[in-house]
Amino acid sequence: MRDDAKGGVPVFTRTFGTGPRPAILLHCALAHSKVWTPLATRLSQDLTMIAPDMPGHGRSAGWDPRTDLHDQVTAIAGECLGDGGHVIGHSFGATVALRLAMDVPDKVYSLTLIEPVLFAAARESDTEIFDRYIETSQSFSSALRTQDWATAAAEFLRVWGDGRTWQDLSEKEQVIFSAQMPFIHGTEPCLIADANGLLTPGRLEGITCPTRLIRGSVTEPVIGAIHKTLARRIPGAVDRIVSGAGHMVPITHPQDVAPIISEIIEG
Beta bridge partners of 14: 51
pLDDT in the model for residue 79: 95
Q: How far apart are CA 184 and CA 198, in angstroms?
A: 18
Instruction: Indicate the range of 5-9, 49-53, 168-172 predicted with least confidence.
Output: 5-9
Question: Band of the pLDDT at 63, cuts 50, 70, 90?
Answer: confident
Q: What are phi and psi of 181, to 5 degrees?
A: -65, -35
**Residues 248, 156 contacting (CB under 8 angstroms):** no
pLDDT tens digits, one per residue of 8-55? 678 999 999 999 999 999 999 999 999 999 999 999 999 999 999 999
Average of per-residue pLDDT across 83-109: 98
User: With 60 as the cut, is the pLDDT of residue 178 above it?
Assistant: yes
Q: How far apart are CA 253 and CA 237, in angstroms?
A: 21
Domain boundaries, the chain: 2-124+194-265, 127-189
Burial 102-120 (b: 16+ CB within 10 A, else e): beeeebbbbbbbbbbbbbb
C-alpha count within 13 angstroms, C-beta hemisphere, residue 94: 24
Choose among 136, 96, 98: nearest CA to 222.
136
CA distances from 57 to 52, 146, 262, 267 (A): 9, 22, 28, 33
Residue 28: DSSP 8-state: P
**Residues 2, 12 contacting (CB under 8 angstroms):** yes
User: With 50 as the cut, is the pLDDT of residue 96 above it?
Assistant: yes
Q: How far apart are CA 227 and CA 238, in angstroms?
A: 10
The CATH number corresponding to 2-124+194-265 among 3.30.465.10, 3.40.50.1820, 2.60.40.1180, 3.40.50.150 equals 3.40.50.1820
> Quick check: helix, strand or coil at residue 3?
strand
Reported pTM = 0.94
pLDDT tens digits, one per residue of 229-257? 999 999 999 999 999 999 999 999 999 99
pLDDT in the model for residue 145: 92
Instruction: Report DSSP letters for 239-253, one per residue.
Output: EEEETT--TTHHHH-
User: With 50 as the cut, is the pLDDT of residue 1 above it?
Assistant: no
